[in-house]
Structure 1
């Protein structure tokens, strides 16, 4: 396993009433500050893999860029100092009307809400996807996602996300932050010009309204999760024509919105 992603720590465990000294595998947290056209824009707490893709996906989801090759002239990642330097073709200067620097934690609470709903109108897409998937394929994709993540199996401390066809995973990404994992996928698709309209997004975490909007920004029409959705997320999914499937566990699942894309 990549030492950059995990570390080991001696711990005390109690199992069946017995005290045991052993080593545990711990996932790594890494702060990365994005410097956009010479101005500090955001600091993200993430898993230090695929940082280039994560920065691209994050800037696209925030409406800063639309295309990788057209809008970004350079990206330089300094992992030693924890900085990502981005230059864009149009000299965008981050707004400092609210605060001089935005911090994005890896937690699932309100740490990212200052970003959402500001640019969603112009960046969230109503899905035109005609793609369908069978109930059995939903089950299989979720099993494949979870079994393929060695970091999750070793630590239990990361989220997994993958862009897929109905039959297989095309690309998967892992991160301590739910949004980061999706940004890495988004960045990968933009960088490699992958058409996502006919693809499926498979995700390990809860479907919140923010996650649903992120899926809409990526451009998929089907979102699969092993966890629960929120009511606000489902309202957005109805409006954006996105099929949401949750609680994919074992051989069962729940279809919440636009069920016509899920077939037997």
Structure 2
């Protein structure tokens, strides 16, 4: 249940014939995020780095504001799936009670099952972090992330979220079958490593959807970079939250949308 991938037999068929193969495929299991004895969400996820996932989910959903508010975190494996059991301190428990959400989400959706439409487009804190990235750093961010994806190399079926720091490149990466899960894991890993999200940019292998912007804003990360396109709602949300949104960052170029001042795009950036 806790393996990231499993090799399974198959048949590869081409116009000129067929052959038996052994293909490494990513595991995908239901992970219940349980706070104070009550299930807050059940997400389909890759079953590794679940402490990072649980912490990042709690931060990204605004349930906690600092990992220290989790008094106990336990990963429990069952035949049907995995539980991440968390006990919160009194302040975080009050916050959770005030905004209880029931969310059961498949891989492709980080907002499925929300019982209040207002929660889907909730107001976000404004990100004011003073960060500067060069044109070269941003243009090569997607390609740089590609070098930090061992599970993708095995399976070709998972997303990645990386953290780009000025002058240092990609310093931390997490992978998962769900793009929002990968970002949750990254947020949790950053906090466990003592790295503040305001110090760099999130880099995603996926399209930019609104829940990625929401998680970035709640984490306090000022720049969100992806190899694919944003949705209109994601772009509007990034603009309102003060987040610099960059799309199609691959093969030496990128599209720059909201709050472009954090990216140095002038000729002086070129070495």
* C-alpha contact 1:105 1:112 (8 A) present in aligned 2: no
Unaligned ranges ≥5, structure 1: none
CA distance in 2, matches of 1:169, 1:118: 32
- Count of matched residue positions in the alignment of Structure 1 and Structure 2: 259
Aligned to 1:214: 215
- TM-score norm. by structure 2 comes to 0.86
CA distance in 1, matches of 2:199, 2:62: 22
Unaligned ranges ≥5, structure 2: none
Aligned to 2:50: 51
* C-alpha contact 2:140 2:253 (8 A) present in aligned 1: no
Q: Does 1:142 align with 2:137?
A: no
Aligned to 1:106: 107
Aligned to 2:131: 131
Q: 1:26 to 1:245 in 2, by over 3 A?
A: same
1:53-202 equivalences under 5 Å are: 53-69=52-68, 71-80=69-78, 82-90=82-90, 92=93, 102-108=103-109, 111=112, 114=115, 117-118=118-119, 121=122, 124-166=124-166, 167-202=168-203
| CA offset digits 1:80-119 (Å, max 9, x no partner) | 45122211111838669998x5322212475265588528
| CA offset digits 1:15-36 (Å, max 9, x no partner) | 3442222111111002121222
1:149, CA displacement in angstroms? 0.6
CA distance in 2, matches of 1:246, 1:87: 38
Q: What is the CA RMSD across the aligned residues, in angstroms?
A: 2.6
- TM-score norm. by structure 1 comes to 0.88
| CA offset digits 1:175-233 (Å, max 9, x no partner) | 00111111111112333442221211111111011111111111111111000011111
| CA offset digits 1:238-261 (Å, max 9, x no partner) | 111111111122122111122222
SS in 2 for 1:190: helix
SS in 1 for 2:119: coil
- Structure 1 residue runs of 4 or more that deviate by more than 4 Å after TM superposition: 93-99, 112-117, 119-122
Q: 1:7 to 1:114 in 2, by over 3 A?
A: farther
Larger mean Cα displacement after TM superposition, 84-93 or 28-37: 84-93
